[in-house]
Amino acid sequence: MSVTLNQSPTPGRLSFFSFPEIQETATISGNQIIITPTSPLEKNIIYSYSITDTQTNEIVKSGEFSTGGIDAIRPLQGRYANLDTVADNAQKIQHPDIFLSNQTPYASLSFSIISTFTPSPTGHYYFTVSLLAEKTFAKNAFLSWVKNLGLTDQQISSLDITYK
């Protein structure tokens, strides 16, 4: 697969992600990135991909490609029983803000949370947590909820969260 960008990419600055995930090597030729799978792709599947600038976390290119004809299927249409779990886990690890935004809005008796996307300084989701009970109790309830979703302390501390 060849992806053409509007300028020549800097080696080592871009990362490739596909869903379903594929093992690949990437080479740069001018303003093109050539993605070569290192193992056979599954037949009759529609793959989604994104190329991200690792310094700005911006997606510089995204798209789809297929290994089949008009009858190719998207994995999210039920081909794999646990694909939603696999996708959530990948998002949880690589993009915890996107993962958490997919869990919002959410409300309990002690807190509520909403998410908003901002394009600056780099595109990300930020979160507003309203503390509806005693502040320490409510904040601890929120943190317990986020940890129960599977985020680590390190991931939580990397999120843009405002408490009010």
Residues with Cβ within 8 Å of residue 116, at least 6 apart in sequence:
125, 126, 127, 128
| Interatomic CA distance for residues 56 and 82, integer angstroms | 31
Q: What is the mean pLDDT of the chain?
A: 84
**124-131/46-53 β-pairing:** unpaired
Q: What pLDDT is recorded for position 83?
A: 45
Q: What pLDDT is recorded for position 16?
A: 83
Place of tokens 């690890």: 93
Q: What pLDDT is recorded for position 43?
A: 84
Q: What pLDDT is recorded for position 161?
A: 97
pLDDT in tens, 2-43: 888 888 888 788 888 887 888 888 888 888 888 899 999 888
| Interatomic CA distance for residues 3 and 34, integer angstroms | 6
Q: What pLDDT is recorded for position 79?
A: 45
DSSP 146-162: HHHTT--HHHHHHSEEE
Under a CB-based contact definition with an 8 Å cutoff, are residues 7 and 31 in contact?
yes
What is the percent of the chain where pLDDT is above 90? 34
pLDDT in tens, 87-137: 567 678 888 998 899 889 999 899 999 999 988 878 899 999 999 999 999
Q: What pLDDT is recorded for position 87?
A: 56
Q: What pLDDT is recorded for position 85?
A: 54
- Does residue 83 or residue 1 have the better pLDDT? 1
Q: In the structure encoding, which two tokens stand for residue 43, read together? A: 């037949």
| Interatomic CA distance for residues 112 and 101, integer angstroms | 13
Classify domain 2-80 by CATH architecture.
Sandwich (2.60)
Residues with Cβ within 8 Å of residue 66, at least 6 apart in sequence:
45, 46, 47, 72
Q: How confident is the model at residue 163 (pLDDT cuts 50, 70, 90)?
A: very high
- Reported in sequence order, the residue ranges of 38-155 that DSSP labels E, i.e. its strands, are 46-53, 59-66, 106-107, 111-118, 124-131
- Does residue 50 or residue 114 have the better pLDDT? 114
25-to-15, 22, 36, 37, 145 alpha-carbon distances in Å = 11, 10, 5, 6, 38
Q: List, in sequence order, every residue forming a beta bridge with 66; answer none if it has no partner.
A: 46
Under a CB-based contact definition with an 8 Å cutoff, are residues 33 and 50 in contact?
no
Under a CB-based contact definition with an 8 Å cutoff, are residues 131 and 101 in contact?
no
Q: How confident is the model at residue 78 (pLDDT cuts 50, 70, 90)?
A: very low
| Domain boundaries of the chain, sorted by first residue | 2-80, 97-163
